[in-house]
Amino acid sequence: MNLRQLLIVMSIATGICWLVLVGVLFQMDPTDSGLIGLILFYASIFLSLLGTFFLSSFLWRKLFNKFALEFRLVGASFRQSFFFACLIVGVLFLQSQHFLTWWNLLLLVVAVTIIEFFCLSLRRQN
């Protein structure tokens, strides 16, 4: 799959995920849907954010880093988008369970940052 096909597929998939999220928000009652409704909500918002952050991050990197290898830009953009989407979904989940406090948020951000630095150090060793 070349870069253009990847961007087209990711754009279409992200659009579909946003439509699914809107459908989940307007068609499901959180009190009646139970666990399936929560899984659909969190999965759709995670995939929507992942695709949006990936596309915007990749285009931003490509715009300002014209001579970098594209597969490295794709890898870095996807990894950081994954972590950022996990962070946001984690914050939403903690808020829904009434566990979100400033120190929990700080711990979550520090954990994601440590994982990102670990991934960067692994890449530099290879």
Q: Could you state, in order of their start, the residue ranges of all structural domains in the chain?
A: 3-125
Ramachandran region, residue 28 (left: φ > 0; alpha: ψ -120 to 50; beta: rest): beta
> How far apart, in whole angstroms, are the C-alpha atoms of residue 44 and residue 62?
27
Using pLDDT thresholds of 50, 70 and 90, give the confidence band for residue 126. Answer: low
The predicted model gives 4-27 an average pLDDT of: 96
In this predicted structure, the answer to whether residue 31 has a pLDDT above a threshold of 80 is: no
| Site of tokens 């150090």 | 121
Computed over every residue of the chain, the mean pLDDT equals 93
Q: Two tokens at 72?
A: 């490295």
Query: What is the pLDDT at residue 41?
Result: 94
Rounded distance between C-alpha atoms, residue 22 and residue 27, angstroms: 8
Q: Is the pLDDT of residue 43 over 80?
A: yes
The pLDDT-based confidence of 6 (bands split at 50, 70, 90) is very high
What pLDDT is attached to residue 17?
A: 97
Q: What is the pLDDT of residues 67-106, one digit of tens each?
A: 888 888 999 999 999 999 999 999 999 999 999 999 999 9
